[in-house]
Chains A and B, each alone.
Chain A
Amino acid sequence: MADVKVGDAIPELRVTPDKYLPHRYAGASGDFNPIHIDDEFAKAVGLPRNILHGLYSMGLVARANAALADGDPRALKRLSVQFRGMGMPEQEIVVSGTVKSAEGGRVVVDTVAAQGDNQIIKNAEAELEL
């Protein structure tokens, strides 16, 4: 793999999940919690609307980091995230990251996923073997 240096940015990933994405992710993952797929239920429990699955957003963080290895699913060795603000369907998610360390083929990337000013995943740390 090409030389990855401390301070390099990973290719920015921009995804706008459509209205039905939480339903597709629910089917794919098996997580049918109604706060993700039922707008009325979500509002009844005090949320602004149905919200994205946090693990979907984490999946995008994994996808963005795998891009450093041309999408090779073997590259990602560890991913640690904190879920913060709620992610909303129909709003663009931007995943960005910066290489924090790079030694002997092991690369650690600090990653953030945000919708506008709202960081939905922060302090994400991905460790890749390139």
Chain B
Amino acid sequence: MAIKTDGIGKEWPATTYQVGREKVGEYARALGIENPVHFDVEAARSAGFRDVVAPPMFAVVYSSPAVGPAMFDPDVGMNFAAMVHGAQEFEWAEPACSGDEITTTAKCLDISEKDGKGFYVFETNSVNQNGDQVVRGTWTCIVRGV
């Protein structure tokens, strides 16, 4: 059975996430990250940040709300029961700091089939309130038995 490819090129509405000090600290603690720039505003400012700064992988927190609806879209048609997160890439530019409003858009880059598996590739792009590039993400989901 040929894989459904209607979703390729589709884009979804942007989501906006406001970065907050407590969420940044909660994330850093869960990862065991101890640099005070993630917890203490004075430490962050003396290191040259506007406010408490998020660890790079906090990108998943503010970009997931944009890519979630893409993954569940019927045009994409992924079978969630047989899906695994196969690969992930982020490319960072401006750091995300508490107080930032980060807007993320999501797009389906590709849907393809190989050896009975479906490969679904999504891209997210996040910019801050000043229009500065924050992060670009590439999310690859693999579905068995397509």
Contacts and interface: CB of A to CB of B under 8 A. Distances in A.
Given A21-B30, A73-B56, A29 B87 contact: no
A54 B81 CA distance: 17
Contacts of B54: 73
Given A59-B31, A76-B92, A83 B55 contact: no
Nearest to B17: A30
A89 B55 CA distance: 22
A71 B26 contact: no
Contacts of B38: 73
B55 A28 contact: no
Contacts of B85: 54-55, 83
A25 B86 CA distance: 19
A80 B88 CA distance: 6
Contacts of B87: 80-83
Nearest to B140: A82
A28 B23 contact: yes
A119 to B, nearest CB: 14
Nearest to B31: A59
A83 B31 contact: no
Contact of B56 (A31, A76, A83): A76
Contacts of A79: 56-57, 89-90
12 contacts: A28-B27, A29-B27, A30-B64, A45-B81, A55-B60, A60-B31, A63-B32, A63-B33, A66-B56, A71-B35, A74-B95, A81-B89
